[in-house]
A and B are shown apart, each in its own frame.
Chain A
Amino acid sequence: MDLKLQKIIPQLITVLVVILVFGFFTYNAQINMENRGIDFGYGFLSQESSFDVQFSLIEYDGSHSYFRAYLVGLLNTILVSVIGIIIATILGVIVGVARLSPNYLIKQFAAFYVEFFRNIPLLLQIFFWYFAALRALPLPQDADAILGVFFLTIKGLYVPAFIWENLNVFLYSIIAAIIAIVVIRIHARKVQETQGKQLPVFWISVGLIFILPLLSFLIGGVSLSFEIPKLKQLATTSFKYEGGISLPPELIALTLSLALYTATFIAECVRAGIQGVGKGQKEAAASIGLNPNQVLKLVVMPQALRIIIPPTTNQYLNLTKNSSLAAAIAYPDLVLVFAGTALMQTGKAIEIVSITMLTYLSLSISISILMNWYNKKIAIKEK
């Protein structure tokens, strides 16, 4: 009896406190909204937004709804995050491996990079790239072409656009190649388990992924051409590029700084992962007759990845959350478009901030649930 009470009372008190605090907040919110004549509700999402967004992946202008503005912001956030994650991963893996290089110069260079970019606030780096470094670029009319087709100017980066014909056939061919590769891998594993023979899976895969799309060009009627941006004069001193894809300087500054900053953390994860695999593992693998490639593929990487992947996913999440700093340089991401402009116009603080937070929250939680599942799957099963 006594023990039971001891267990229940602290919990009751805690729950009571939490309920009281929340009740206090909701009560005040209701009174405040009544006083100011604001009504609570999410109906505004379908209203006409009547503001413009500079850069958007889907068609959008002032006549669309607030919900579409939300989608524009979300897509822009995802765009920055995906590009940033790709660059950061490549850079991070290179730097992480370089930090373990036997070459003294490379090791020091990588260490310098990590220590330098890790210890400067991300916001400062974004400001630096956007306000200082990218402002030093030439005007559109003075810009030289890089490789003949890229134009890096103060108004952004202009790249050629792809113009596809029968794009769907091309995509089907890639999907077919991937399915074929998976089937071959499963088959190869079976062959190895039953007969002990190794099939050249890697080369077959490379061949398939090149040959099938190539066939789609030759037979399937797929064709690809480029639209190269061209300089066009608007007024005597005003020029702009037409055609192709233009990436605004905000996007460049943001992805660049996010990638450079996050790569330092990924590099540390990679280093820790590779160092975490014991020397004995490599020696044991070599002593049973595996060649260096097989040692890396079958023994070192599976163990290193087990250490590398969880913290790296964490860094991906951080990068996605940090992309909200876009608001500081007016890149139209979720925070700027929705929690900034839309909030200013509607005044619906509680609704909009809660939607924004919930979006990030569901993004993070779904990834961390996925991570936990993966972690459990690859954890070493000890007896």
Chain B
Amino acid sequence: MIVGIDLGTTHSLIGAYLDDGPQLFPNASGGLLTPSAVSVDEDGGVLVGEGARDRLLTQPDRSVAHFKRWMGAARETALGNRRFRPEELSSLVLRSLVADAEAATGVRPTEAVISVPAYFSDAQRTATRTAGEMAGLRVDRLINEPTAAALAYGLHERRGEGRFLVFDLGGGTLDVSIVEMFDDVVEVHATAGDNFLGGEDFLDVLVAAALDDLKIAPEAVERAEMASLRRRIERLKTSLSQAAGAASVELVAVGRAHAWSIDEARFALLAEPLMQRLRIPLERTLRDANLGPSDLDEVILVGGATRMPMVVRAVSRLLGRLPLRHVDPDHAIARGAVVASGLKARSGTLKEVILTDVCPYTLGTDVVRQDGSGGYHPGFLLPIITRGSTVPVSREQEVSPVEERQTKVEFNVFQGENPIAEKNVKLGSLLVPIPAAGPNVDRGVLLRFTYDVNGILQVEAKVKATGATHELILRQSAGALSERELRDRLAALAELKVHPREKQENLALMARAERLYEEQLVDRDRLQAMMLAFRGALESQDERRIRHERSAFADALADIERVR
């Protein structure tokens, strides 16, 4: 079975294209959104999802979230006495999702289409596929998130034709794509984005403002306190999105309780620098697609952070029209990934649709330029695949050495839009020996860039005189794992004790109770009594009693949370 997965910064979802259309699968707690959080308990057992997110507050040293932002980097996170790479953390989330799919369908999925931010680089895409591999999934296809959202929207809301702009502001990334549909073709015209702009940044702004107002130095706040602070302010942010006017919150920091309130107008003012950054990718996609706002049939908002009224206002102002939100913004990408998985499986019930995507960034190499007076200036970017080229695409460019006595040419491969090569992301480099200069010696090198549907780049240099070819292996970049490292990591992961799905639900409930206990001062006795009772039930190992206690416990916790 092929599944579609949205591996998000804050939440992840899984689903598959079944006979009756795209279907998303619930996790052990019954929700469709599984928090992308991982926690390791005192016995070394791994928790994923709700429980892990609750434990961010109670066990901050053993829990982690938002690791998608580190994908493709060599950064490791210590949880308990083990260190995890972002790929490994993602693979634990994927495993938990796979177990949910298996529980829902009875079949264990072996293959997946995973969505990634369009602006993800080669290293980040490779890391995502590695995470899939680590979770026992074959990931032949990655789909860009805004493309997935467009697919979900286009196929299930419109069924027609037209041109629309997808504005996808998630927890950690912003992507903007312009998509056109006609005659069962879904064609992406242009994509732009910001890999480091998302809901979390807006939260950071609020947290900084709160600490500033309360005259608390951020360093003075302990990790657990900070996690609880962020959670409460997150809730405040949600309520600011739902109703106009001010919202207030009770915060505990440096051991004391403080009251803090803010209104939407001030939040909008604080977030102004972030709002400025929204504008850049929006304008770039329109420019690249050579379209004006009036050429768009619709504007679609996707991603949880688009719930903020100021984001809706900014998009309406910039595009001169009210955006739409047909699909649930949290589910759109997952639905699209599921549709893509159905397309990949050539599912008979799905109308045949062909999807073409574009390369979101320019790829090229650095060259020397000569000025009018004959001086040489190194370090300019020669674009080989320009952004917005429909993929798969393969292009060739001839490059010649500058110096007579040169015997080697070094090609640095860059990704990005700045004409100055070094201001872009360097993907790797390739040293190509060339024949010595002489009469009738062609010293040119043909440089070929091939970019496939999954966004993986291949670079090949062919020396014209000798016909020798050299290939650049981009995996050598700092963030990527070698084959051996990967094997070792896989073996180590296999030894890791992951709590089974049935148990995860119980653990999540306990984690939630512990979090509530930490968060508040009233109802503590009641909570403690309930936790004791539930622990007793768990120890009895009597399935019937556990089930009974569990539902009562969950109801009571929901009750406490509602009151607050």
A binds B: no
Interface residues of B (CB under 8 A from A): none
